[in-house]
Amino acid sequence: MSKKEIPDFTQNRELSWLRFNQRVLEEARDESVPLMERMKFVAIFTSNLDEFFMIRVGSLYDLAATDDKKIDQRSGMTAKQQLDAIYRAVSPLYKERDKTYAEIKKQLHPYGVCGLDFKELEQQEKKFVKKYFKEEVLPVLSPQIVDANHPFPHLLSKEIYVVANLKQGDKAMLGIIPVPQYIVDVGEVEIPFPMDAIVKKDTIKDTVYINIPIQRKTYSTDDYRAVISGYRPNLDTMIIYHKKEIIYEKSRRWGIGLAAGYGVGREGFSPYLGAVVYYRIW
């Protein structure tokens, strides 16, 4: 078999992996699977694709920029051809993922598991969210401008960024706001949960309010810093600061010692060595 001959029974590794991940998404679409398990498969599918683009697609991108003539022995494709094929295959997968996710969210809504827009919140919840944003989120946001004087910044993997097109007069620019991960932790908030109460064989629709506990809390003193999280609190990290004590030696006021130097005597200016008694004033 010549070097350029490609066997019929092999396939491109990257496209084969995408077909494998598609089967993960099919598990999320399977209505016989419990809803929360289906949601978990959606998360696994998305996490797999994140890693796929960071490692495999990233390697192909570098190869296309350095040696685009290299041929994949299993499919006969160059690095650029593989990238084009990956982009074509991934686009419908993302659309199917979004559709599946929306359907599962809709089915989970009657059970109180839902993601709400701000306008869908109750008045008490809106008040809490506004207060939380003003006190916890806004102080840690650092907007960045991209224009002729400010180059495009380095973006970290798996981080959330808010991007906006800005305009000041006739000048157009790009605004980027990195969203720190740690601001997702919230304190205790009262959340309404719908429930069915049975009173004398009659079912009555009612709502109970449950306090959601703090997900993470930091305790800090001069001696230590501890981070605790979870409904049943677990110690995540703890740093103990070692105490530092500076000891100063207290000098004695009175003392006896030897003194050497020059002095003026009967014979004029001459050196001397002798015992002295001293008293320290301060």
| 250 or 42, higher pLDDT | 42
d(CA 225, CA 220): 4
Taking only the tens place, the pLDDT of each residue in 72-114 is: 877 788 989 999 999 999 999 999 999 999 999 999 888 877 7
- Does position 7 have pLDDT exceeding 70, yes or no? no
Which pairs from 194-197 meet CB under 8 Å and 24+ separation?
194/112
Strands in the chain per DSSP E:
144-146, 160-168, 171-179, 189-199, 202-212, 216-220, 224-229, 234-240, 254-265, 268-279
State the chain's mean pLDDT as an integer.
78
d(CA 275, CA 171): 85
pLDDT at 1: 41
d(CA 218, CA 191): 23
Percentage of the chain beyond pLDDT 90 is: 23
d(CA 82, CA 70): 11
> pLDDT confidence of 136, banded at 50, 70, 90?
confident
Residue 178: CB atoms within 10 Å: 17
d(CA 188, CA 231): 11
Give the list of residues 6+ apart from residue 222 with CB closer than 8 angstroms, or none: 241
Rounded mean pLDDT, 23-45: 93
38: exposed, middle or buried (Cβ count in 10 Å: 0-12, 13-18, 19+): buried
> pLDDT confidence of 149, banded at 50, 70, 90?
confident
